[in-house]
Amino acid sequence: MQDIADITPLVASLNPAQKEAVTAPPEHRLVLAGAGSGKTRVLVHRIAWLITVENVSPLSVLAVTFTNKAASEMRGRIEQLITVPIRSMWVGTFHGIAHRMLRLHWKEAGLVQNFQILDADDQVRLVKRVLKALDMSDEQWPPKAVTHWINAQKEEARRPQHMSDLGDYTQRQYVRVYTAYEEACTKSGVVDFAELLLRAFEITRDNPEIQAHYRRRFRHVLVDEFQDTNTLQYAWLKVLAGDTGTMFAVGDDDQSIYSWRGARVENMVRLEKDFPGTEVIRLEQNYRSTGTILKAANGLISKNTNRLGKNLWTDGGDGEQIQLYASYNEYDEAEFVANRARELLDGRCRYSDLAILYRSNAQSRVLEEILIRARIPYRIYGGLRFFERQEIKDALAYLRLLHNRDDDTSFERTVNTPARGIGATTMEKLREISRASGVSLWMAAKNASSQLGRSAGNMGQFLKLIDDLHAETRDLPLSKATELLIARTGLRDHYRKEKGEQAEARLENLDELISAARSFEVDPGAASAAENPDEPVLDPLTAFLTHAALESGEEQAGPGEDCVQLMTLHAAKGLEFPVVFIVGVENGLFPSARAIDEGNLEEERRLFYVGITRARRKLYLSYAEVRRVHGVEQIGAPSMFLKEVPAECVSETRPRAGILRPGFGAREPQSGYGGGYRGAGSGGGYGGSAAGRPLPRTVVAGSSGLGPGGFRLGQRVEHPKFGEGTILSFDGDGDRAQIEVKFRDAGTKRLVLGFANLRGL
For residue 137, name the pLDDT band (cuts at 50, 70, 90).
Answer: confident
**Could you state, in order of their start, the residue ranges of all structural domains in the chain?**
8-107+204-285, 116-188, 322-385+556-653, 387-522, 715-760
Residue 693 has a pLDDT of 28
616 is catalytic: no
Among 190-204, 252-266, 632-646, top mean pLDDT goes to: 190-204
Beta bridge partners of 701: 703
Q: Is the pLDDT of residue 207 over 60?
A: yes
Q: Is 262 helix (H, G, I), strand (E, B) or coil?
A: coil
- Tell me how far apart the alpha carbons of residues 49 and 30 are, in angstroms, rounded to a whole number: 17
Residue 59 has a pLDDT of 92
39 is catalytic: yes
204 is catalytic: no
Residue at 310: amino acid letter: K
Sequence ranges of the binding site: 33-40
Residue 703 has a pLDDT of 39
Write the pLDDT tens digit of every residue in 499-533: 777 788 888 889 989 988 887 875 444 444 444 44
More confident residue, 195 or 725: 195
Residue 661 has a pLDDT of 41
Q: Is the pLDDT of residue 161 over 50?
A: yes
Residue 468 burial (10 A CB sphere; 0-12, 13-18, 19+): exposed
Residue of 553, 554, 545, 509 whose CA lies nearest to 524: 545
Contacts of 285 (CB under 8 A, 6+ apart): 15, 17, 37, 312, 313, 314, 315
Report yes or no: 198 and 153 within 8 Å, Cβ to Cβ.
no
Q: What is the end-to-end Cα distance of the chain in Å, rounded?
A: 63
CATH number of 8-107+204-285: 3.40.50.300
Residue at 447: amino acid letter: N
Catalytic residue among 20, 155, 195, 225: 225
Catalytic residue among 255, 414, 489, 565: 255
- Tell me how far apart the alpha carbons of residues 408 and 427 are, in angstroms, rounded to a whole number: 11
The angle at the Cα of 515, spanning 513 to 516, to the nearest 5 degrees, equals 60
Residue 680 has a pLDDT of 30
721 is catalytic: no
Q: Is the pLDDT of residue 408 over 70?
A: yes
Report yes or no: 204 and 217 within 8 Å, Cβ to Cβ.
no
161 is catalytic: no
Report yes or no: 213 and 108 within 8 Å, Cβ to Cβ.
no
139 is catalytic: no
Strand ranges inside 69-149, DSSP E: 90-93, 116-117
Catalytic residue among 614, 618, 643, 661: 614
Q: Is the pLDDT of residue 550 over 70?
A: no
Residue 699 has a pLDDT of 44
Report yes or no: 287 and 637 within 8 Å, Cβ to Cβ.
no
Percent of the chain with pLDDT over 90: 47
Rounded average pLDDT over 10-21: 92
Q: Is the pLDDT of residue 705 over 50?
A: no
Report yes or no: 685 and 678 within 8 Å, Cβ to Cβ.
yes
Rounded average pLDDT over 443-461: 83
Q: Is the pLDDT of residue 143 over 50?
A: yes
Catalytic residue among 20, 155, 192, 224: 224
Domain 322-385+556-653 has CATH 2.60.40.10: no
Residue 531 has a pLDDT of 45
Write the pLDDT tens digit of every residue in 352-381: 999 999 999 889 999 999 998 899 999 988
For residue 621, name the pLDDT band (cuts at 50, 70, 90).
Answer: very high
Residue 665 has a pLDDT of 40
Percent of the chain with pLDDT over 70: 87
Question: Which DSSP helix (H) or strand (E) runs through 330?
Answer: helix 330-346
- Tell me how far apart the alpha carbons of residues 613 and 288 are, in angstroms, rounded to a whole number: 8
Catalytic residue among 18, 23, 29, 39: 39
Report yes or no: 574 and 357 within 8 Å, Cβ to Cβ.
no
Alpha helices in 455-600 (DSSP H): 456-473, 478-488, 491-496, 500-518, 524-531, 540-553, 569-572, 593-598
For residue 154, name the pLDDT band (cuts at 50, 70, 90).
Answer: very high
Residue 346 burial (10 A CB sphere; 0-12, 13-18, 19+): exposed
CATH architecture designation of domain 387-522: Orthogonal Bundle (1.10)
Residue of 351, 746, 414, 360 whose CA lies nearest to 565: 351
Torsion of CA 590, 649, 346, 582, to 10 degrees: -10
Q: Is the pLDDT of residue 479 over 80?
A: yes
More confident residue, 202 or 652: 202
Q: Is the pLDDT of residue 449 over 80?
A: no
- Tell me how far apart the alpha carbons of residues 301 and 313 are, in angstroms, rounded to a whole number: 14
Residue 664 has a pLDDT of 46
More confident residue, 707 or 687: 707
Rounded average pLDDT over 382-400: 87
- Tell me how far apart the alpha carbons of residues 128 and 666 are, in angstroms, rounded to a whole number: 58
- Tell me how far apart the alpha carbons of residues 571 and 567 are, in angstroms, rounded to a whole number: 6
Beta bridge partners of 752: 738
Write the pLDDT tens digit of every residue in 34-61: 999 999 999 999 999 999 999 999 999 9
Sequence ranges of the binding site for ATP: 33-40
Write the pLDDT tens digit of every residue in 656-695: 443 444 444 433 333 232 333 223 322 222 222 223 323 3
- In Å, what is the CA distance from 321 to each residue of 78, 266, 317, 580, 672? 39, 34, 12, 13, 15
Catalytic residue among 40, 211, 502, 556: 40
Q: Is the pLDDT of residue 452 over 80?
A: no
- In Å, what is the CA distance from 532 to each residue of 412, 528, 539? 38, 6, 17
Residue at 347: amino acid letter: G
Write the pLDDT tens digit of every residue in 294-327: 999 999 999 999 899 899 999 989 999 999 999 9
Beta bridge partners of 629: 632
For residue 634, name the pLDDT band (cuts at 50, 70, 90).
Answer: confident
Which region among 252-256, 557-561, 648-652 has the lowest average model confidence (pLDDT)? Answer: 557-561
For residue 110, name the pLDDT band (cuts at 50, 70, 90).
Answer: very high
Q: Check for a shared fold between 8-107+204-285 and 322-385+556-653.
A: yes
**How much is the mean pLDDT over the chain?**
84
Residue of 396, 684, 410 whose CA lies nearest to 544: 396
CATH class of 116-188: mainly alpha
Rounded average pLDDT over 123-131: 90
Contacts of 632 (CB under 8 A, 6+ apart): none
